[in-house]
Amino acid sequence: MRPSAAVGAVAAAGLAGYLVWLARHRSAWTVLLTNRIPDHHVYWGERGKADPESVLYVALGDSAALGLGASKPGRGYVGIVAEEIARITGKRVRVRNLSIDGATCAVVLADELHRIPKAPAIVVTLDVGANDVWSFAPERFRDEFDRICAALPPGSIVADLPSFSFLPVAGRVRTANRIVHEVVAAHGHVLAPLNAVTRRGGPVIAIRNAAGDLFHPNDRGHRVWAEAFLPAVRSRLAEVSASA
């Protein structure tokens, strides 16, 4: 065997070995994160208990809103947003986190929107769509996303889809986000530019900010996600303060 062929064979074997390891690593992390889901629901159930001295924050969405991938539920982006609300208002924050792991737009329509409390919320956030791109139908997505936005309280903060720069669905995400931007604007909600903030740094940073399943954000990733929401949250709180 020629040296160049030998080097190629070794490289191919090394790549194959790495891909096998990566698949096992991701699979193990998927099991780990799935097993954590009940703990996240328990945590947010406690954070959602009635408190007459608190302000209300309502979060809707998928597993990212649950804080999956973070080391603790409160270190997810919803927890970070709640901390900022507490810092600005000086009050305790009751968080009604209605998110469901694996949620698509259809799940938000069927199982989340009707659970929004009747009491007025100081902030409402939504992230959904990342689970829709795997079986993406643009017309269906537009219809469902439009119905979600029509049902949200006025001035809700709605994220577009995060960057999927290293996954084969990036083209679908671009199409979905064009729809999201149009629908959010049509309903007068506020766009949280999640795609822009998660796209910074490219695939290398995206992997660095991902949990071991290479899908959910880790602690760093959740801080990045929070950056997409916080400017709109601060603006919303300033409006509430000015009108008080």
* Per-residue model confidence (pLDDT) at position 2: 56
Digit-coded pLDDT (tens) for 187-217: 999 999 999 999 998 888 888 999 888 889 9
Separation CA 64–CA 70 (nearest Å):
9
Separation CA 143–CA 198 (nearest Å):
26
* Per-residue model confidence (pLDDT) at position 192: 99
Q: Which residues pair with 58 in a beta bridge?
A: 96, 124
Residues of the chain with pLDDT under 70: 1-23, 25, 165-167
* Per-residue model confidence (pLDDT) at position 204: 85
Show the domains of the chain with their CATH numbers: 40-243 (3.40.50.1110)
- The closest of 201, 203, 194 to 228, measured between CA atoms, is 194
* Per-residue model confidence (pLDDT) at position 189: 99
* Per-residue model confidence (pLDDT) at position 3: 52
pTM greater than 0.85 (yes/no): yes
